[in-house]
Homo-oligomer: A and B are copies of this chain.
């Protein structure tokens, strides 16, 4: 097998990322355009994905959608190494106690994915899209994960030249980002005031793996007009406690003494 051959696996798996809650069905031309592959390559990838249950093709429209194989793999993963179910319990408690949407982001391969969401039982609530990629510079979860990552990873986020502006509040320069990262390291939580979506205040706390490095973050996405200093304090405190408990439940360890988090959380 040549190196060129191998990259077809990346191509096929990459196609799956284009399906979202907003665009759950995509045609061959659309997928080919989105992925930047020629149609022949796209079709061959899709055929292999379909054979293995990762996509389905609608008999009428001929469009593709995600298949059922991931549902089965997710079950096997969860029965062997529960992560989503462990986190979901805490998110349910957070959403219930705080009355705002709680969600979890995990680092997997090269990407940040939404692993679980829990919405509060009230009419006005923040909708978190599980297919949305959370940009590191514009979201509380991204800042929380980056703040405790290696210096190299921090620099990569801080020094990017093309920080996309999602709202007029999205931090766009290195100085503003450095300040956010330092604040998160000092307090154990990060805050995002309408930096990704208008009228949403995000608060996040990092979750750590066995090596004491971040494996993800849990966050609360609150309706900004409901926010009060008291609610923000309660969110901060609840997230710190839940993130620490999740880290422990998943067999992780808090970062070493060179990182100030232990004192902050302890």
| Residues of chain B within 8 A of A210, CB atoms compared | 59
Contact with B along A73-91 (1 / 0, CB 8 A): 1111111110110000000
Interface check A69, CB cutoff 8 A: yes
B66 lies within 8 A of A19 (CB): no
Q: How far is the CA of A65 from the CA of B65 in the complex (A)?
A: 26
Which residues on B sit within 8 Å (CB–CB) of A76? 19-21, 24, 66, 130-131
Q: Does A45 contact B (CB under 8 A)?
A: yes
Number of contacting residues on A, CB 8 A? 64
Q: Which of B5, B108, B114 contacts A5 (CB 8 A)?
A: B5
Take A19-B76, A52-B14, A74-B74 as given contacts and tell me if A68 and B108 are in contact as well, using a CB distance cutoff of 8 Å.
yes
Q: Which residues of B contact A83 (CB under 8 A)?
A: 68, 71
A6 CB contacts on chain B under 8 angstroms: 8, 44-45, 47-48
A52: nearest residue on chain B (CB-CB)?
B13
The answer to whether B67 and A70 touch across the interface, beta carbons within 8 angstroms, is no
Knowing A65-B81, A109-B52, A110-B51, the reply to whether A72 touches B12 (Cβ < 8 A) is no
Q: Which residues from 209 to 255 on chain A have a C-beta closer than 8 Å to any C-beta of chain B?
A: 210-211
Instruction: State the oligomeric state as a number of copies.
Output: 2
| CB contact between A73 and one of B70, B78, B81 (< 8 Å): that residue | B70
Q: Closest chain B residue to A7 by CB distance?
A: B48
Whether the Cβ atoms of A48 and B13 lie closer than 8 Å is: yes
Contact check, B9 vs A48: say whether CB atoms are below 8 A apart. yes
Q: Does A123 contact B (CB under 8 A)?
A: no
* A109 B50 Cβ-Cβ under 8 A: yes
Judging by beta carbons under 8 Å apart, are A8 and B1 in contact?
Answer: yes
Chain B residues contacting A53 (CB-CB under 8 Å) are 108-111, 113
Contacts of A173 in B (CB 8 A): none
Interface residue ranges, A against B (CB under 8 Å): 1-2, 4-10, 12-14, 16, 19-21, 24-25, 40-41, 44-45, 47-54, 56, 59, 65-81, 83-84, 106, 108-111, 113-115, 117, 130-131, 210-211
Apart from A9-B44, A13-B54, A24-B80, 17 more pairs, CB < 8 Å: A1-B41, A2-B5, A4-B5, A9-B45, A10-B52, A13-B49, A16-B73, A19-B73, A21-B76, A53-B108, A54-B73, A56-B108, A67-B77, A68-B77, A68-B113, A68-B115, A79-B130
A-B contact pairs, 17 of them (CB 8 A): A1-B40, A4-B5, A5-B8, A6-B48, A7-B48, A8-B8, A13-B69, A14-B52, A24-B77, A52-B109, A53-B108, A54-B109, A65-B77, A66-B73, A67-B109, A68-B77, A71-B83
